[in-house]
Structure 1
Amino acid sequence: MKLNADLGESYGHWQINADKDIMPFIDMANIACGGHAGDPKVMHQTVALAKSHGVSIGAHPSYPDIQGFGRRSMSIPAEELCHIIQAQIAALDGLARCQGETLSYVKPHGALYNDMMSNKAVRLAVYNAIRTYYISLPLVVQATNQNDKLRIEAEEYGVNLLFEAFADRLYLDSGFLSPRSTPGAVLDGAQSVEQARRLIEKGEVITDSGKVLSISADTICVHGDTPEAINNVARIREILLGQND
């Protein structure tokens, strides 16, 4: 199982400084590409950092919402949303190619990710953005009990999926994430590491009601903007290494 993190989320004078500490422990870097964070300088630096550690580079597009950090839903016509997503992917793609690197996948951010999972119209717009991009890139989506259904749906658009679970977010019985506005939606360090351990060793999480929920995932996400992200990702890497021994 791969470990991924949302990185490159600084912008101008607003700086998040955890990227250098997190990068050595992950396999996949989801790099912000201007929609919610990530200016050209930050994108260039984050690509260089990923390159130096042999980490796969993924585009992390969002709704065009710098002020809201991409965590506010927006009603955007499907064709326009397709272009917005492709423009962000292309920006990171171009900067990566300037350093001899290529993109490996796309993972939407924040509200776009959540809307993609819950709203078929948004999901189809995302599929179309991926399908009509000039190179084929897998799309990262949330692992739920609907994996097979989503895989078939995406295949109709010629899109390959990677399924992810979350170490640091509370799950609902539905298999979706508890809204960030809900107390306890973002897990603390010990809770995050324990949830990652369950995902890695048993393929399951404990939901907000105490239910055991089975999850089949290709990758686990740790958010780089949480206070305990560095310690969390280091400890989760130890668990993954233990599984490979």
Structure 2
Amino acid sequence: MARIVDLNADVGESFGRWRLGEDDALLPLLTSANVACGFHAGDPLILRRTCELAAAHGVRIGAQVGYRDLAGFGRRFIDVEPAELAADVLYQVGALRALAEAAGAQVAYLKPHGALYHAVSSHPAQAEAVIEAARLSELPVLGLAGSPFLAAVRAAGLEAVGEGFADRGYRPDGTLVPRSEPGALLTETGAVAQQAVALATRDREPAARSLCLHGDTPGAAASAAAVREALARAGVTVRAFA
């Protein structure tokens, strides 16, 4: 059976004169781009230019929504009320949709960022808030393969797309190693490529329809190129999820 996998990364995370990531080099290697929405990173001009660059390379745009936490890059848990969180997510999607449309593109999916990405699998109220926003936005949801959050997304009747992380360490239970612990981040390109192939070709559940690389990791573009080369050698086609 032919194997197909999407390759996504976090982009648009610069702010003003502060530059983060290698978006110009990274985007041509992706099939999906998780574009920041201004709450954890990104400003309107940077986000518009990121959408334009993604559209120029035929890369699908996803809204990477997070907590209102520019200072912490969205990697700090915030005990926000569900109604406020749902409104925040809708606000972020709406803003990115306008910028994407200005670039001749559309927002095709939603993905939580950072601390929110993990919180939605352990805080049901926050999960329901994000799911409500996704339902009102009529968007598929990208999240950790096998997570309780994606199970809740499916239960709500929405399309849930499971992803694996080529550049993050995993615990034996399938969760990610916290960034505060050793082994949380893989930075050597060979190791990243090897893990990408393992995730894309494993026969057991949960299957990953998409693989993620972190655009703020040094050498992200080189890792993406190595991942694509390794996947091609393994007979895996890289294509945006349907």
User: C-alpha displacement at 1:17, in angstroms?
Assistant: 4.6
Hey, what does 2:85 align to over in structure 1?
81
Hey, what does 1:143 align to over in structure 2?
145
Question: Distance between the aligned counterparts of 2:182 and 2:154, measured in 1?
Answer: 37
CA contact (8 A) 2:150 2:162 kept: no
Hey, what does 1:207 align to over in structure 2?
none
Gaps of 5+ in 2: 238-242
Question: Distance between the aligned counterparts of 2:121 and 2:170, measured in 1?
Answer: 14
Hey, what does 1:7 align to over in structure 2?
11
**Measured at CA, do residues 203 and 29 of structure 1 come closer, stay the same or move farther in structure 2, by a change above 3 Å?**
farther
Question: Distance between the aligned counterparts of 2:131 and 2:23, measured in 1?
Answer: 29
Matched, 1:91 2:95: yes
Hey, what does 2:240 align to over in structure 1?
none
Hey, what does 2:153 align to over in structure 1?
154
1:60-114 Cα shifts (integer Å, max 9, x gaps): 0100000000000001110000000110111110111122211110111000101
Hey, what does 2:176 align to over in structure 1?
177
Identity among equivalent pairs (%)? 41
**Measured at CA, do residues 156 and 202 of structure 1 come closer, stay the same or move farther in structure 2, by a change above 3 Å?**
closer
SS in 1 for 2:216: coil
Hey, what does 2:66 align to over in structure 1?
62
Aligned length: 231
Gaps of 5+ in 1: 205-213
Residue 241 of structure 1 aligns to which amino acid in structure 2? A
1:22 aligned residue (26, 30, 39):
26
1:124-148 Cα shifts (integer Å, max 9, x gaps): 1110111122xx110011012x57x
SS in 1 for 2:142: strand
User: C-alpha displacement at 1:196, in angstroms?
Assistant: 0.8
4+ aligned runs moved over 4 Å, structure 1 = none
Question: Distance between the aligned counterparts of 1:225 and 1:154, measured in 2?
Answer: 28
User: C-alpha displacement at 1:202, in angstroms?
Assistant: 2.7
1:31 aligned residue (31, 35, 39):
35
**Measured at CA, do residues 109 and 17 of structure 1 come closer, stay the same or move farther in structure 2, by a change above 3 Å?**
closer
Matched, 1:130 2:134: yes
User: C-alpha displacement at 1:4, in angstroms?
Assistant: 0.3
2:209 aligned residue (179, 197, 218):
218
User: C-alpha displacement at 1:236, in angstroms?
Assistant: 0.7
User: C-alpha displacement at 1:180, in angstroms?
Assistant: 0.2
**Measured at CA, do residues 194 and 155 of structure 1 come closer, stay the same or move farther in structure 2, by a change above 3 Å?**
closer
User: C-alpha displacement at 1:238, in angstroms?
Assistant: 1.3
CA contact (8 A) 1:26 1:237 kept: no
Hey, what does 1:198 align to over in structure 2?
198
Question: Distance between the aligned counterparts of 2:97 and 2:175, measured in 1?
Answer: 30
Question: Distance between the aligned counterparts of 2:16 and 2:114, measured in 1?
Answer: 20
User: C-alpha displacement at 1:241, in angstroms?
Assistant: 2.7
User: C-alpha displacement at 1:244, in angstroms?
Assistant: 4.5
Question: Distance between the aligned counterparts of 2:22 and 2:150, measured in 1?
Answer: 33
